[in-house]
Amino acid sequence: MKFSNVFVVDDDKIFHFLIRKLLLISNVDINPAFFENGLEAIEGIKSKLKAGENPPDLILLDINMPVLDGWQFLEEFKSIRNLLEKEIIIYVISSSDNSEDRSRASDFKDLIHDYYLKPMTVDNIKSIFNL
């Protein structure tokens, strides 16, 4: 699948920098939008819908964030999902290898395509973008 509109939802600025570098190294020609918490990302999706713009094709979602964490984002996302005309691919990207988090991710298996551990690598990016 070709992704053109990507949201990166993570409160870590270093992760934002790393994702930019990995995309560049992997020759992925997209300009992702960065959000520091789940609430900003939900509002970003809603504002795109309201403006008649395409919502993101792909969301890279952290779990542990202030304001609205990844789990809360997914709960909110469920409530607006029916407004979307297309499926949005969501990958959880977390520093947590906690079995509880992995188990909880399986509760959202209808939304989450995969669960990646930080730090992200070129191979992870290639896998996500089917390179």
Between 76 and 1, the higher pLDDT residue: 76
Q: Is the pTM of this model over 0.85?
A: yes
Percent over 70 (pLDDT), the chain: 99
The domain locations on the chain are 6-128
Q: Which ranges of the chain does DSSP label H, i.e. alpha helix?
A: 13-25, 38-50, 70-80, 99-107, 122-128
Say how far apart CA 26 and CA 98 lie, in whole Å. Answer: 29
The CATH superfamily holding the domain 6-128 is: Response regulator (3.40.50.2300)
pLDDT at 1: 66
Nearest 10 degrees: Cα torsion 120, 125, 127, 131: -160
**How many beta carbons lie within 10 A of that of residue 2, not counting itself?**
8
Mean per-residue pLDDT, 101-105: 91
